[in-house]
Structure 1
Amino acid sequence: MLQLLDDEEPAIQDALRQEFSGTCGDLSNEIAALAIDLTTTDQKRLSQMLQPGRRETLLHEWQIPQGGAAALDDDWETFENMLRLIADFLHDGVTLRPALPDLLDMLAEEAVEEKAHISEDSLRLWMFDSENFMGNKDDYYTPHNSDLSWCSETGLGNPISLALLYMLIGRRLNMEITGCNYPGHFLARIQLDGKPVLVDCFHKGRLISVDEIIQDNKSISDYAKQAILTTAPLGHILMRILRNLEHSFNKLKREDDAKIFRMIFERMHRSI
């Protein structure tokens, strides 16, 4: 069937779409095993044909916890698995790449190799000050920014994906890095010299003193102040990612994909 991808006959293309839509949405292992060399055009065409299968796989494998997003609490294993499902959905289903947990393991090992006495702050410097990871300013709203596997490989991301990479890599190194659900711009939080400090991962990991931001902004809203002073629950972080994806796909006029993430968001929100 793969040999027919470049056949422009409408009936052939319709038959291929029908056939590939019944798969899990990912043929990357099969393509690699068969050593099939697809052109860029054929890769893009095949990925589009596999998209319905990826939607079905995402909905089938996404398990809503009893209690919805709030039930995630400190369940990092389930949280990371949901991030993996999102990454798998956003992948093209054609090219081969490691799974998200494996990529995070490799990044943690790389960080340790390059930083003999690694800490939350030295990991920050290694990731962001060195520009190993940077804010994707040129394509801020692309759905790829919510694909942590893509972010791991390209070094690009939005505020929340870069902060999550920092948190998840840090967790593998027994570090205490949490999230700050600041409105409009997600941040990470660490302790530096015994004081809470926010990390703006999107802007080269710059440090922001929690005490100073409260003192210097007397008109800060109660919501923003609460976000600064408390750790973002994993469920809240996940819901923010789901909303970002719905917004990104709506901007691209990919309504079927936007609908998927709106549906998951609503199910996570109302489950009790």
Structure 2
Amino acid sequence: MPIQIPEPSKSEAAYLALKHAVIEQALSPGTKLPEDVLATHLKVSRTLVREALARLMSEGLVASSRKRTATVAQPSRAEAQSVFEARACLEQEVVRRVMTRWTPAMGAELTGHVRTEEEAARIQAPPVCARLAGEFHIRLAAMSGNPVIERYVSELVSRCSLILAIYGNPHHSQCGIDEHKALIDAFRRQDEKAALRLMASHLDNVQERALMPERKPVDEDLGGILSRYVSPEGATTSTGRARKGARSRA
């Protein structure tokens, strides 16, 4: 008889819907999250919405104060750096613990997840690819046998997804998939040094993509920008037309 997997409660479903919407960048950082609107769309009570928002606040994905509507969090670059530093430390310990507990079943589970990542990449679903890439690390943390480590890795992975939405640069999902495959191979060979090195390199790549150098603003003054496109009489200059044409062809 097949095992029946219970459906998530309404509270859990509301929480997961909001969390996935944030992680997949459907809800941008700074987006307001009014309880009444969320309750209507999620088809749950405001009490359950409040519970879901509280959980997301504890995970750093939502920000709020007593008198203001909750919003999708907007971590600073300094906070983002701290998140990646903590994640790098924890995931090295995850590698060590999983290496000692490794079984063929773990390899099969992770390989199955990578196949799901490949399918998402094949149908060109970048938001889903980003969520699945993070879930690979959460699955790996669950295999460490330490629920506290699993909990904190899950939180840090989710916050990294939010950081990517604010500061990041998109990349080809195949890069992360190949790195996940290499990690699985290292576990199968029981090569701890290789696995630690691969994890460190993988997270360095994620961090580099997530924390792109800040661009220096050029000519922020609106008048200064428009002066290049408008003649003293108010007509568009030939320079302006040329520049606009160049931009449209870029």
- TM-score range, shorter-chain basis? under 0.3
- So what's the TM-score if we normalise by structure 2? 0.27
- Name which one, 1 or 2, has greater alpha-carbon Rg: 2
- So what's the TM-score if we normalise by structure 1? 0.26
